[in-house]
Amino acid sequence: MAETMKMRATMEGDVVDVKVLIQHPMDTGLMKDAKTEKLIPAHFINQVVATLNGKTVLDAQWGVGIAKNPFIGFRIKGAKPGDKVGVNAVDNLGTKFDGEVVVA
């Protein structure tokens, strides 16, 4: 499922700046379908974990208030080019998303 997640990790001094984009509707469960007038069921990513060389660096929980096609940026100290940054995410329906990028 790499195509649903885009990642970039670039060094800025001794800190790696990581940017992640995930394709996801992030439906709140509060919006109505314009045609059918029925509520669109909630469908959103609720947990995201980022790792540096397999070690957890960021453990996030999300609600429905994160915008559609979520973007997240974070920074890790002590990384170097060649290190691997991984992201694992799961939504409220249990669908898993994962991505990995090598620090440039």
| Tokens matching residue 54 | 């397999």
Distances (CA, A) of 100 to 15, 30, 37, 44: 18, 33, 39, 21
Binding mask 73-92 for other proteins (x = CB under 8 A): xxxxxxx------x-x-x--
Q: How many whole angstroms separate alpha carbon 17 and alpha carbon 79? A: 10
Does 11 participate in binding other proteins (rule CB under 8 A)?
no
Residue 34 Ramachandran class (φ > 0 left, ψ -120 to 50 alpha, else beta): alpha
Nearest approach in angstroms of CB 65 to other proteins is 4
Does 98 participate in binding other proteins (rule CB under 8 A)?
yes
Per the DSSP assignment, residues forming a β-bridge with 21 are: 6, 71
Q: Which of residues 16-75 bind other proteins (CB under 8 A)?
A: 19, 26, 28, 30-32, 34, 46-47, 49-52, 54-68, 70-75
List residues near other proteins by CB under 8 A: 15, 19, 26, 28, 30-32, 34, 46-47, 49-52, 54-68, 70-79, 86, 88, 90, 96, 98, 100
